[in-house]
Amino acid sequence: MNNNDIAEKIKAVYKDLEVKPKYSNQVEIRADGIDIVGLLAFIKSLGFEHLSNVTCVDWIKEKRFDVIYNVWSYTHKVHITVKSGIDRDNPEIPTVMSLWPQAQVYERETHEMFGVKFLGNPDLSPLFLHNWKDIPPLRKDFDTVEYSKRAYGASSPEGGNE
Amino acid sequence: MNLGKKSFFSPFAFWANAFKAPTTIRFPKEDLDFFEKPGASPRYRGLHTNDIDKCIGCGTCSEICPTDAITMIESENKKEGTLGRKPQIDYGRCCFCGFCVDMCTTGSLQMSRVYLKNYATPPDKIGDEEVEDIKKHFVLVPDEKFSDDLGYTTPDEYSWLDLERVEMPQMDAEERLQGFIEYVKGFTREQAIKEASRCVECGVCTETCPAHMRIPEYIHEIWEDDPYASVDKMYTENPLPGVCGRVCTHRCETVCSIGHRGEPVAIRWLKRYAVDQLSIDKIKNIAHVFKGGKKEKHVSIIGSGPSGLTCAYYLSVMGYKITIYEAKPLAGGIMRYGIPNYRLPDEALDKDIDVILSMGVEIKTNTEVGRDITIEEIKKNSDAVFIGTGFMESRSTKIKNVDRPGCYRALDLLAKISRGEKIELKEKVVIIGGGNVAFDIGRSIARLQKAEFGKVGVTLTCLEKRDEMLADEEEIIEGQEEGLVIKPGRSPKEVLLDENGNVRGLRTVKCVKIFDDQGRFNPTVDESDVEDYEGYMVVEAIGQAPNYDYLGKDILDKLEIVRGKILTDEYGRTPIEWLFAGGDIVHGPDIIHGVADGHRAAQAIDEYLMNQK
Amino acid sequence: MSDWVEITKIGETDKYETYEYFFGPNHPGMHGNFAYVVDVVGSTIQKVRVSAGLLHRGFEKLMEQNLWFQNISLIPRICVPDPDPNEAAYCTACEKLLGIEIPDRGKFLRSLALEMSRLTSFLMGMGALGAMMGLYSVMYRMMDERDNILVFFEWLTGARIYHMYSIPGGVRRDIPEGFKEKMLKLMDDLEYNLREWDRLLFENPVIHKRLKGIGTIDPVHAVEVGITGPSLRATGYKADVRKDDPYAAYPYLDFDIITTEGGDALARAVQIRKEYEQTINLIRQILKRMPGGDFKVYLGNPLKLRIPAGDAYARVESSKGEFGYYIVSDGGIRPYRISVRGPSLPAGLYLCNEHLPGMRIDDIAIWMASFAVCPPDFDR
């Protein structure tokens, strides 16, 4: 099956979703406000057994976080990017640990870098940033220069020390 | 592979290596010997070397540097076309990616095969607690030190710069000859954005432009697809962008940093694109934004050429009342009467002039100073006077028979042609001169000939050799495409007459040298090499001269005139405090110089009038 | 217990005491600054916690602040032993967004750099695996061999470690004159030396005793937790990004997906040994089939390069598994977001919780080396 067939198959079940094939072997699914675990479980049952990663994009102007799931099928050789938009002020989304256990780590990282809460994930403690007290750093409103001035007393306009 | 089955003795096999020569290198006794000469690879990205004479200080290396290691410092190379800067590299930050070398506009910055640098503290610094001193040893200014051991260099084919211009759509020669329609069609939006994206925004052009237009900024706005902002940035230095976007001598493009490796950015066409995108109302909005308060003082301007119009615009921005006196029926001076329509159509010129007139500038056409009004009267009515009367008289070669009927001067003919007046056209024409005016008249006549006789018969002869000709290269190439026959390196001897006394051709001799050893104009000719060119009409286009008669003797006595040009200071001030001058009569024929003079004179006039009380 | 060494005792019963050890960040068996905090009884691990972050350089944030081209100097640093897959993945994703196809010669040159990089990484990985078992000579010999390849990198790209060779649109330099012949000669030498590696490492009874049964994983679970690359193929699962999601010149090359049965550390070591041989073969093919023509598409002035808005995911088979770059552009001159999928994360941060408890502390380093856990690629 190529990416067009896969897109058709998903559309047959999820009629309201925006599913579009792109490039030679990718499918993009826009899945806002639906049961993301159910959708991913369905996708997994189609043969998409490999979760490449879980990440997030901060669309600050639209006040939205897109949680991104990159999944890959070893059987169909097709990649699916699932984008789930969530409210930026109240970022919550269920965990997909039940489908792919290693999602726990990706979700933990995403929580740390964007502040997205993954409901059901038992351990969302900081992974990389020790003693972090600022807003999550990969958010677009986190200003690195301001931070270096605030945290380290940087003196130059670029954020370093003169 | 025989997994897990190993003899008891196999560990001892290792001892065989004990007698091998070590593969590691014992530096400094040995060096890597793999490449043809000892040391690092021929492409190694080691310490930088920079040819200071070639480096123009554009700062592109510093722009692309991903680690911010390069800062630009003052350089001793301050020639024209350079910014007087050179890169300084902080090796504490440098990651030796070589992007600076791939981006270098001139190819002066290169990397060497040298990778060892001793950062040890010099003995006299030991114990010195100043961190700054230690820091300095990481910071090097690349020079020719390692240039004999070059590593990573970037020939043009590897350069990251966009070296090829977007081709300007224009008519082919046959189509051009059909009339006086502007043959350069102008960029489309996509083409303009693509062309604008080639600019690295170094600013060498701004330094070189006589008017110091903010070229990188307005190109950036074009790239951002915002012609309004772009024109807005032009009007701060140049109120004639529509004209300059077509016929400027574009010194900016001559020095353009991209031009060192490839074709310079088409700055002139981009300017034209931005102006053409906007309606006249929008441009008026831009022009009026700067308009300040109202002042009671009155300034008179003689001549409505580039310098006069520019001076009028900036003074009216400051709130002065302006009157322009123009001898000809229409404003524009050389722009209207000297430049043929196929290069500068009247619509473009009118657009620029309308914007200036909309500022409240009063213009009195058909009013020649000295004939219709005297300079004294003008002085009486105004607080300051700016003269920008230009070079409107054609010079003559004064060769034999050149005063006969059938011999013309270029500017007179051009004025007639541009007004659509009939001239006595002949099938064969000889033009003396090799500058832009010679080509203007030559190409204009070619168009008329095409219409009247169906074929072109223009011979153009000049003193300079082909590669020294004063005209723009594209003028020469396009002129040749249109059928102009160019005979360079010839000195006119005499106009030949037939038995009835009509012009029948031009006799020339070979020109060996134009300037004498002192650099003065004094052609040396080889009388034995004679060539005659057939032509029933001879046009002289060897340059223009000013006419100062209208100023009167009293004023002329006080002015200092050197080789036909009035001596002023940088701001156009003359020894007479109320009289300011600019344009051709100060700097020689060049539109953009006129614009610059007009702008600066406006500042000087403002200063003079403010102090006057 | 002398008073200058303090080990945290975290529990005590009448029979045994539980201590907390830091395995890393400074430990000869640890690659990069990363630590497992292990609770041990005797030398048996009870529980493991990861202590990452010592390597965190904020690359993803930094990349959002750089021009598209400037990032090329940053991304190889995400994985030092095998930097080229990063460049290739980043460039492939950019090219997808730009909608361009790079010229064939560019593809082959990119593959050449990728396969050379794979060789250096395998040598380093096998050497490290040997060193983890105390066979330090193996590591030194292999590092020496690796240097021979680095010389060719120096010749091709201008640098030994951070090549920065691929750029969006192709590669930066064509191959130099005489490179092909010498490279083919090197391939013969490397193949010849394989016999020595067999004698030193793979036929060595030590590795069989130490590696057998360590970190065993079955294919189903391996896929479920996201293990990729040689570690996945060592479970007998046939998957290779080069075949499945082809990029660069791989569609033009002949090779099969090699697998090994077993799924334990030994199988993974053998798998790497097999792939090493395959890589040599691939480089020969690349050099022999290198087409002529251009090696890059010109994308215009790098200072003003805009990439059309959109997002793309590109994956590359690195020596450790799938390296993926998810790139989001808002149509500007800088990336809007770049997310890097490092191949070590599933094993290094997740699988350790399943595998390490019950293992002995001496085996952590072996376990890590066999899964090719390279902390820089998840702690970016």
- For B563-601, what is each residue's pLDDT tens digit? 778 888 888 888 888 888 888 888 877 888 888 888 888
Report how far apart, in Å, the C-alpha atoms of B498 and of each of B408, B501, B509, B534 are.
18, 5, 20, 11
Q: Do C313 and A28 touch (CB under 8 A)?
A: no
Q: How far is B145 from chain C (nearest CA, A)?
A: 20
Looking at beta carbons, which residues of chain C come within 8 Å of B152?
A: 158
Q: Which of B369, B387, B405 is the last residue of a domain?
A: B387
What's the pTM value of the predicted model, to 2 decimals?
0.84
Nearest of C33, C169, C165 to residue C92 by alpha carbon: C169
pLDDT band at A158 (very low <50, low <70, confident <90, very high): low
Nearest to B158 among C151, C173, C176 (CB): C173
Amino acid at A111: H
Would you list the domain boundaries of chain C? 8-51, 59-377
Same domain for B446 and B369:
no
Distance of CA B298 to the CA centre of its chain: 34
Question: How many CA atoms lie within 13 Å of B595's alpha carbon, on the beta-carbon side?
Answer: 25
Nearest to C204 among B6, B43, B102 (CB): B6
Residue B366 inside a domain? The answer is yes
pLDDT of residue C57: 84
Same domain for B414 and B268:
no
- For B227-275, what is each residue's pLDDT tens digit? 888 888 888 888 888 888 888 888 888 888 888 888 888 888 888 888 8
Q: How far is C101 from chain A (nearest CA, A)?
A: 12
Same domain for B224 and B368:
yes
Q: Which of B545, B564, B585 is the last residue of a domain?
A: B545
Same domain for B439 and B523:
yes
Q: Which domain holds residue B191?
A: 173-387
- For B156-208, what is each residue's pLDDT tens digit? 888 888 888 888 888 777 777 777 777 777 788 888 888 888 888 888 888 88
Q: What strands, in cross-sheet order, belong to the sheet with C17-23? A: C8-12, C17-23, C35-41, C44-51
Q: Do A57 and C337 touch (CB under 8 A)?
A: yes
Residue B9 clears pLDDT 80, i.e. is over it: no
Same domain for B232 and B323:
yes
Same domain for B211 and B72:
no
Contact B582, B600 (CB under 8 A): yes
For residue C137, give the DSSP letter.
H
Residue B608 inside a domain? The answer is no
Would you list the domain boundaries of chain A? 3-125, 129-162
Q: How far is A30 from chain C (nearest CA, A)?
A: 12
Nearest to B95 among C66, C73, C200 (CB): C73
The answer as to CATH 1.10.645.10 being correct for domain C59-377 is yes
Residue B123 clears pLDDT 80, i.e. is over it: no
Mutate which: A76, A95, A97, A102, vs C, most C CBs within 10 A: A102
pLDDT of residue C1: 41
If you measure CA to CA, which chain C residue comes closest to B198? C301
- For A41-73, what is each residue's pLDDT tens digit? 888 888 888 888 899 998 888 888 889 999 988
pLDDT band at A3 (very low <50, low <70, confident <90, very high): confident
Same domain for B182 and B96:
no
Residue B311 clears pLDDT 80, i.e. is over it: yes
Residue ranges of alpha helices (H) inside B180-333 are 189-196, 204-208, 215-223, 227-234, 241-247, 251-255, 267-277, 280-289, 306-318
CATH classification at residue B417: 3.50.50.60
Q: Is the CB of residue A137 less than 8 Å away from at least one CB of chain C?
A: yes
Q: Which of B545, B570, B589 is the last residue of a domain?
A: B545
Looking at beta carbons, which residues of chain B come within 8 Å of C73?
A: 66-67, 95, 97, 99
Buried b (16+ CB within 10 A) or exposed e, B235-263: bbbbbbbbbbbbbbbbbbbebbbbbbbbe
The answer as to CATH 3.30.460.80 being correct for domain A3-125 is yes
Mutate which: A2, A58, A106, A142, vs C, most C CBs within 10 A: A106
Contact B230, B274 (CB under 8 A): yes
Question: Residue B56 and residue C346: Cα distance in Å, rounded?
Answer: 52
Q: Do B111 and C158 touch (CB under 8 A)?
A: yes
Q: Do C304 and B223 touch (CB under 8 A)?
A: yes
Question: Residue B249 and residue B268: Cα distance in Å, rounded?
Answer: 9
Residue A112 clears pLDDT 80, i.e. is over it: yes
What string of DSSP letters covers B34-77?
SSSSSSS-TT---SEEE-TTT-----HHHHH-TT--EEEEE-S-
Distance of CA C328 to the CA centre of its chain: 24
Same domain for B422 and B354:
no
Q: What share of chain B is helix, strand, coil (3-state, %, to 5)?
A: 35, 20, 45
pLDDT of residue A88: 86
Looking at beta carbons, which residues of chain A come within 8 Å of C226?
A: 50-52, 100, 102
Contact A25, A77 (CB under 8 A): yes
pLDDT of residue C4: 56
Amino acid at B455: K
Residue B267 inside a domain? The answer is yes
Into how many domains does chain B fold? 3
Same domain for B373 and B291:
yes
Residue ranges of alpha helices (H) inside C99-169 are 104-132, 136-157
